[in-house]
Amino acid sequence: MNFAGFIVAQTLNAFSQAAILFFIACGLTLIFGIMRIINFAHGGLFMVGAYVGYSTVAYTGSFWLSLLIAPITVAAIGGIFEKVFLSKLYVRQDAGAYLMLTFGLAIILAQAVHLIWGPQPRSVAIPDLLRGVVVILNQPFPIYRLFLIAIGAAAAIALWQFLERTRAGLLIRAVSQNAEMVHALGTDVALVRTGIFMLGCAIAALGGVLSAPLVTAFLGMGSTVIIDAFVIVIIGGMGSFLGSIVGSLLVAFVQVFGAYYFQDMALAIIYLLMLLVLIVRPGGLLGKEQ
């Protein structure tokens, strides 16, 4: 095994990992930026996305259709949750209450998945088109992971352009700066909030579907991934979209290379990274100083 090939393969691995992480982290950071809500249920929604994706593939046989149906389903769940529960708490201005509420949802989602799909993991086959490997510098590399990198990058660019260039994006950024002012200017802030919550949920579900062929859909996937996503959002800066990209890359690289070079410390290393960032920059790398 040559060294260059190894590095390239690991780097690509890290990029594909970062893509999955980005799907969950960016929704988390967007929701926090607009609504000041730490959504603990985000991991659960990611998991529901994976399971719905599994069922779609099972019934229709089409992986591509699942990329559509899972986000729509999960966005609907998120939208209902936001309207029925979260929106009632905006007047209370209590960050703790959101945390609790979404934690409650996370518990319910986990149990609901357990009831509907049972305890055993569900594997999703990689679609024919993306099966197989390519050889890069004498190293075989799965095409599916390359596909993840591509779709992750595409999603990041699309979202970034959406936030920067479109009217809706401008509105979202304005609400995150000063919701009252936007409200006074005649925009329905409640609608923006519901919209952004649903968008965040849909992106997470997309991430869930995409990760299912790699790791299967399993019951603990939500609680594992949510902590990684928190770490990313904290490192990148709460509410910063670019921060979620940077954080995803950083965490993915540390995980992939850390698992190889510091096997003993693999679990601890991302928390150490997070502590380090918070001590040096309490607001995160790209976040506002508190």
- Name the residues that contact other proteins, by CB under 8 A: 32, 38, 40, 85, 88-89, 92, 94-97, 99-101, 103-108, 110-112, 114-115, 223, 227, 230-231, 234, 238, 264-265, 267-268, 271-272, 274-275, 278-279, 282-283, 290
- Residue 275 CA to residue 272 CA, distance in Å, equals 5
| CB proximity list for 211: less than 8 A, separation 6 or greater | 20, 46, 50, 221
H or E element in which residue 54 lies: helix 42-60
Compare residues 148 and 270 and give the one whose CB is closer to other proteins. Answer: 270
Compare residues 47 and 171 and give the one whose CB is closer to other proteins. Answer: 47
- Give the nearest distance from C-beta 104 to other proteins in angstroms: 4
Compare residues 31 and 57 and give the one whose CB is closer to other proteins. Answer: 31
- Residue 177 CA to residue 167 CA, distance in Å, equals 15
- Residue 26 CA to residue 233 CA, distance in Å, equals 8
- Residue 244 CA to residue 236 CA, distance in Å, equals 5
8 A C-beta contact, residue 124 and residue 212: yes
- Give the nearest distance from C-beta 180 to other proteins in angstroms: 17
Compare residues 96 and 186 and give the one whose CB is closer to other proteins. Answer: 96
- Give the nearest distance from C-beta 206 to other proteins in angstroms: 25
- Give the nearest distance from C-beta 169 to other proteins in angstroms: 24
- Give the nearest distance from C-beta 168 to other proteins in angstroms: 26
Compare residues 112 and 130 and give the one whose CB is closer to other proteins. Answer: 112
Angle between helix 241-261 and 143-165 (nearest 10): 160
- Give the nearest distance from C-beta 15 to other proteins in angstroms: 24
8 A C-beta contact, residue 67 and residue 205: no
Compare residues 114 and 131 and give the one whose CB is closer to other proteins. Answer: 114
DSSP labels for 125-180? PPPGGG-SEEEETTEEEEHHHHHHHHHHHHHHHHHHHHHHHSHHHHHHHHHHH-HH
